Amino acid sequence: MPDARADRDPSRGHRGAAADGVHEDGARLDGARVHGAHEDRGAAPAPAASEDTVRAREAYGARAAEYTERFGGIEAAAATDRRRVLEWARAVHGPVLDVGCGPGQWTAFLAEHGVEAAGIDPTPEFVAAARRLHPGMRYRLGHAESLAVADGALGGVLAWYSLIHIRPERIDDVLREFARALRPGGGLAIGFVEAPVGAAIDHAVTTAYAWPVPELSARVERAGFTVVSTERRTDPGARPHGSLTAMRGDRGDRGGRGGRGDRGQR
């Protein structure tokens, strides 16, 4: 059984790094083709999922039914998080991709509030659960290292506790992929375990990593974003929580902007 305190920490409602590159052929998001199992011949093949993603996929797959039962409803997420994510998503222009969607609760929550949203996850058991629980919504297998959408196809990327199992040395690759997939001015929202010093932490499913808000903010800005707001808090019985929202720059470059990443503190 998962440690209740560990899984009632900020990993509630969302978890591991998103997924292995098996996709539905012909799936579409806002009219842009999502490369499927039979990709365009001229398209570069999607990179294989990282070791971190494979490890998270296997660990969550073994406990997907248990996780879905305990945390598969949006009510398991803190009300403060629901308000923050919805406020962010409503300000986004274009489709939102929920990266590491788990059993699909955040994707469905956004759609119920009028946001065009789809979800991807590395774990087949979670994708199956999401489709069962939220029929009519769009869910597919996919991973954060390669979103399998065209450049600039997305208006927003939600990564709510879905990057916590990615090692710090690999996070820059993921953030650059997010920047590639977002249109200029597109939005990014990340929820994560916060800590004064970045470090691996114990987690009920598999090893996770905590981030200081300023350090993760700096990584985000280095990938070509401007951090708009940050948040820190500790709820009773939960690990310290951090979140940030950011906007992709107008230019296609991936160079850093040198921002402090602590503006907009709430």
pLDDT per residue as tens digits for the range 82-130: 999 999 999 999 999 999 999 999 999 999 999 999 999 999 999 999 9
Q: If residue 178 lies in a helix (H) or strand (E), which one and from where to where?
A: helix 171-181
pLDDT value at position 53? Answer: 81
pLDDT digits (tens, 9 = 90+) for 42-88: 334 456 778 878 877 877 777 888 888 988 899 999 999 999 999 99
Domains of the chain from N-terminus onward? 51-248 (3.40.50.150)
CB 83, CB 243: distance < 8 Å? no
Using one digit for the tens of pLDDT, what is the confidence trace for 161-184? 999 999 999 999 999 999 999 999
DSSP 89-132: HHT--S-EEEET-TTSHHHHHHHHTT--EEEEES-HHHHHHHHH
Give the whole-angstrom CA distance, residue 101 versus residue 177.
17
Residue 34 token pair: 């999502």
